[in-house]
Amino acid sequence: MTPRDGSTGTDVLVIGGGPGGYVAAIRAAQRDLDVTLVEKDAYGGTCLNHGCIPSKAFITAADVAHDADNAAGMGIHADPTVDMAALADWKDGVVDQLTSGVEKLCKANQVTLLEGTATFADDHTARVAHGDDGETATVEFEDCIVATGSRPIEIPGFSFADEDVWASRDALAAEERPDELVVVGAGYIGMELSTMFAKLGTDVTVVEMLDSALPAYDDDITRVVRSRAADLGVDFQFGEGASEWRESGEGIEVVTETEAGETATYGADKVLVAVGREPVTDTLKLDAIGLEPDDTGFLAIDDHARTDLDHIYAVGDVAGEPMLAHKASAEGIVAAETIAGESVALDHQAIPAAVFTDPEIGTVGLTESEAVEAGVDPVVGEMPMRASGRALTMNESEGFVRLVGDGETGRLVGAQVVAPEASELIAEAGLAIELGATIDEVADTIHTHPTLSEATMEAAENALGQAIHTLNR
């Protein structure tokens, strides 16, 4: 587009360089659109810089240390020590390699990169403020994709500005391991980091207002993960909400309270608050374009990632649950393709999710109860990992693979995996759902032996009542 004097013009303005934003920018550029991407912090967003990637790096290192320290049953004796500073340097190297890759890919695809914070001036104009120097650039656009992501939720009395109060970002930047850690929240972030620190040798106490960990998952899944965490030394305190913290000697004390008004106090070096994340919309000046978040704080979108304004799109965490990087990328592609005039739409029937606990959790599609609620007569098959030869050789035999099928059509409609490498195993089920595969077809697919993936085949056979390596239902 042709801009007014003193401004820059672009076909597509993308606000936010996370997995939704940079993917949208690259795809739009591949469709011969002029694209400008604005990022205020670091390319790759929270996931790459402060979330998904650094946490998995730390989790992998913690697994190595813990496995080495607990391999006596295999005849291997070791006494590993963890150099947290060196571990942090290695993690930072991984992150730097990936972030530089994102920047290079954007430039290679002719995406114009601007550093700063973007705010709307009117329906087709944004202003980009550059850091603390006060400089502002004006960008005129035809279409805009908002990909501003999310931030951790603060709770009263626990400010992330305080040195002793950690958000997940702070925990993943630590260069020293706390001897004692209180974690507020037993959702997926709290459980991943609790398990990680416990494996590194930290005494971990988890405080959760609800009566269970990972409340979004079925009890038989959470039971496996919670039991394993307890074996690692994680101390769960359910039905307690964190009310305040205070300095105490060389550490801190975290005070909790039950609904009945009973209080308890837990000593620690740090407190990690992991009670969820909230979308970032307040930085955009949405009132300038007459756009408001919905009742849940998100920007509502249609199946083309379009907001209530036809030329304004939203992708990723800012556009609603689930807050997953791969969901953001998929939405970014749909938004870019739609702007380019392609006939595409979002398809949320098979968005996989993974929790990197011990063992991992992987899910896609419908659970058995969700299938019933959707009017499906489900057929269910399950394979316990204790019957998996490969799992036993890995000394990791907790959990199972469960498949949920439509009893009328035979099609696979969901899968739940709690097992080693569940984050990888769930991909097969996701592909099967997308392709409309049946339980029979999954069962008839020859799987490599000995592998963890055989459990998927056996679960399908179990659903058909003809499993070989486990008892049929």
Cβ 18 vs Cβ 149: under 8 Å: yes
Active-site option among 66, 447, 449, 469: 449
If you ran DSSP here, which 8-state letter would residue 446 be given? -
- Calculate the average pLDDT of the chain: 95
pLDDT average, residue stretch 218-222: 94
Edge-to-edge strands, sheet with 251-257: 241-248, 251-257, 263-268
Q: Indicate whether 173 pLDDT > 70.
A: yes
Q: Indicate whether 5 pLDDT > 60.
A: no
Given this model, what pLDDT does residue 407 score? Answer: 96
User: Residue for token digits 């996989």?
Assistant: 352
For 55-100, how does the pLDDT look when each residue is reduced to its tens digit (9 = 90+)?
999 999 999 999 999 999 999 999 999 999 999 999 999 999 999 9
Residue 132: pLDDT band with limits 50, 70, 90 = low
Write the burial class of residue 347 (CB in 10 Å: 0-12 exposed, 13-18 middle, 19+ buried).
exposed
Residue 1: pLDDT band with limits 50, 70, 90 = low
Measured in degrees and rounded to the nearest 5, phi and psi for residue 214 equal 45, 60
* Residue 308 to residue 465: CA distance in whole angstroms: 49
Q: Indicate whether 25 pLDDT > 70.
A: yes
pLDDT average, residue stretch 226-237: 97
Q: What topology does CATH give the domain 8-152+278-339?
A: FAD/NAD(P)-binding domain (3.50.50)
What's the length of the chain? 473
Cis previous bond, 359, omega within 30: yes
For 363-394, how does the pLDDT look when each residue is reduced to its tens digit (9 = 90+)?
999 999 999 999 999 999 999 999 999 999 99
* Per-position DSSP letters for 187-241, written without gaps between them: SHHHHHHHHHHHHTT-EEEEEESSSSSSTTS-HHHHHHHHHHHHHTT-EEEET-E
The model scores a pTM over 0.85: yes
State yes or no: is 304 an active-site residue: no
Domain range list for the chain: 8-152+278-339, 165-275, 353-463
Q: Indicate whether 348 pLDDT > 90.
A: no
What interhelical angle do 52-69 and 84-108 show, nearest 10? 140
In CATH, the number for domain 165-275 is: 3.50.50.60
For 299-343, how does the pLDDT look when each residue is reduced to its tens digit (9 = 90+)?
999 999 999 999 999 999 999 999 999 999 999 999 999 999 999
For 254-266, how does the pLDDT look when each residue is reduced to its tens digit (9 = 90+)?
999 999 999 999 9
Q: What angle do CA 107, 31, 430 make, to 5 degrees?
A: 95
- Which among 197, 167, 149 has a CA at the least distance from the CA of 47? 149
| b/e sequence 411-422, b meaning 16+ C-beta within 10 Å | bbbbbbbbbbbb
In CATH, the number for domain 353-463 is: 3.30.390.30
If you ran DSSP here, which 8-state letter would residue 74 be given? G
Write the burial class of residue 82 (CB in 10 Å: 0-12 exposed, 13-18 middle, 19+ buried).
middle
Tell me the β-bridge partners of 180.
Answer: 203
pLDDT average, residue stretch 420-435: 97
Q: Establish whether domains 8-152+278-339 and 165-275 are of one fold.
A: yes
Residue 362: pLDDT band with limits 50, 70, 90 = very high
Cβ 148 vs Cβ 282: under 8 Å: no
Given this model, what pLDDT does residue 250 score? Answer: 86
Q: Indicate whether 6 pLDDT > 60.
A: no
Q: Indicate whether 356 pLDDT > 90.
A: yes
Write the burial class of residue 205 (CB in 10 Å: 0-12 exposed, 13-18 middle, 19+ buried).
buried
Residue 432: pLDDT band with limits 50, 70, 90 = very high
Q: Indicate whether 472 pLDDT > 60.
A: yes
Q: Indicate whether 4 pLDDT > 60.
A: no
* Residue 94 to residue 99: CA distance in whole angstroms: 9
Structure tokens belonging to residue 290: 């007459």
Cβ 21 vs Cβ 38: under 8 Å: no
Cβ 104 vs Cβ 115: under 8 Å: no
Name the percent of the chain lying above pLDDT 90.
94
Tell me the β-bridge partners of 87.
Answer: none
Given this model, what pLDDT does residue 130 score? Answer: 84
Q: Indicate whether 237 pLDDT > 80.
A: yes
* Residue 399 to residue 152: CA distance in whole angstroms: 30
User: Residue for token digits 């939203």?
Assistant: 314
Given this model, what pLDDT does residue 315 score? Answer: 98
Query: 386-390, long-range: CB within 8 Å, 24+ apart, which pairs?
Result: 387/458, 387/469, 387/470, 388/450, 388/452, 388/454, 388/455, 389/449, 389/450, 390/450, 390/451, 390/452, 390/454
Structure tokens belonging to residue 373: 């609620």
- Which among 183, 145, 378, 345 has a CA at the least distance from the CA of 269? 183
Given this model, what pLDDT does residue 135 score? Answer: 83
Given this model, what pLDDT does residue 259 score? Answer: 95
- Which among 157, 172, 125 has a CA at the least distance from the CA of 256? 157
Q: Indicate whether 131 pLDDT > 80.
A: no
